[in-house]
Structure formats: C-alpha cells, structure tokens
C-alpha cells in the first residue's frame, strides 16, 4: 500500500515543479525578449524551488515508499514522525522562500533552514532504521 505521507510529498513536489517550471519559462522569456531586467532576482528562487522544493521532496517521497518495510505493526516507522517530516519541511521551505523574496538574511530564513534540517534528520532516521540489516 502506498503511504499517504509519500502521496503528499510527491503531490507537493509536483506543485513546486510546476511553479519552478513557470519561473524558468519566465526567465527564459526574459532572456529572449528583454522586457524587465530586474526579473533576474527570481533566479535563486527558481533554483531553490527546483532543488529543495521539487527534487528533494520527490526523492524523499519515493524513498519513504520504496525502502524495505519492517515486519511490525508500523512497517515504515512512526506515522507521527512522517507527518512531522512532511509538514515541517514544507513549512520551513515556505519560510525560506518568503525570506528570499522579501527580506534575505532574516530570522525567518534561519527558522526555515532549521525546520528543513530537522525534517531531513527525521527522514534520515526513518529511512536508516529500515535500511540496516541484522545478521545473527
């Protein structure tokens, strides 16, 4: 069965993919038909959306689903931790994007990066416990 946390990680990553693609198209349009050179401030935001919003979440959603399952009541680990991963990562990334747009190097950026880091550590813990093997 496909876990609901993976479904939401993949859905959100595809939304970020759509937004990142639109930003990339806007930047390429600006490159061909110069209409507003100040639009290039969106380039780091485009990179961030594509790497941190789409690519990394897509990998996390796929890995959470595909890694070997435990032979227990909770085959993929704690559901609470998986929800914390999903919500914390996306809230942190949203804070990071808002700070990149309005006020770089702010407290909001720091909070966003810390939330993303904690969420990635939760993901590593969830996956690590499923990837180690015990040979007796």
Whether 101 is in a domain gets the answer yes
Whether 50 is in a domain gets the answer yes
Q: Measured at the alpha carbon of residue 117, what is the angle toward residues 122 and 115, in degrees to the nearest 5?
A: 95
Residue 38: CB atoms within 10 A of its CB come to 7
Whether 69 is in a domain gets the answer yes
Residue 135 confidence (pLDDT) above 60: no
Whether 73 is in a domain gets the answer yes
Range of the domain at 51: 4-131
Q: What are phi and psi of 24, to 5 degrees?
A: -65, -40
Whether 136 is in a domain gets the answer no
Average pLDDT, whole number, for the chain? 90
**pLDDT value of residue 107:** 92
Q: Please tell me the total count of domains within the chain.
A: 1
High-pLDDT (> 70) share of the chain, %: 93
Q: Per residue in 55-83, pLDDT tens?
A: 999 999 999 888 877 666 667 778 899 99
Whether 48 is in a domain gets the answer yes
Residue 70: CB atoms within 10 A of its CB come to 11
Q: Per residue in 110-134, pLDDT tens?
A: 999 999 999 999 999 988 877 775 5
CATH of the domain at 66: 1.20.120
pLDDT category at 136 given cuts 50, 70, 90 is very low
Q: Quick one: average pLDDT of 75-93?
A: 91
Would you say 25 and 17 are in contact if contact means Cβ atoms under 8 Å apart? no
């Amino acid at each position: 069965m496909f876990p609901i946390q993976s479904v939401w990680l993949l859905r959100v990553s595809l939304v970020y993919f759509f937004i990142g693609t639109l930003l990339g198209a806007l930047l390429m349009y600006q490159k061909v038909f110069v209409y507003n050179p100040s639009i290039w401030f969106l380039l780091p935001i485009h990179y961030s959306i594509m790497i941190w919003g789409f690519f990394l979440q897509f990998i996390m959603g796929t890995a959470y689903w595909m890694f070997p399952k435990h032979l227990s009541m909770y085959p993929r680990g704690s559901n609470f931790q998986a929800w914390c991963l999903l919500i914390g990562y996306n809230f942190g990334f949203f804070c990071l994007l808002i700070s990149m747009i309005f006020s770089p190097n702010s407290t909001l950026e720091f909070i966003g990066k810390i939330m993303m880091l904690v969420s990635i550590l939760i993901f590593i813990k969830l996956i690590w416990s499923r990837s180690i093997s015990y040979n007796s």
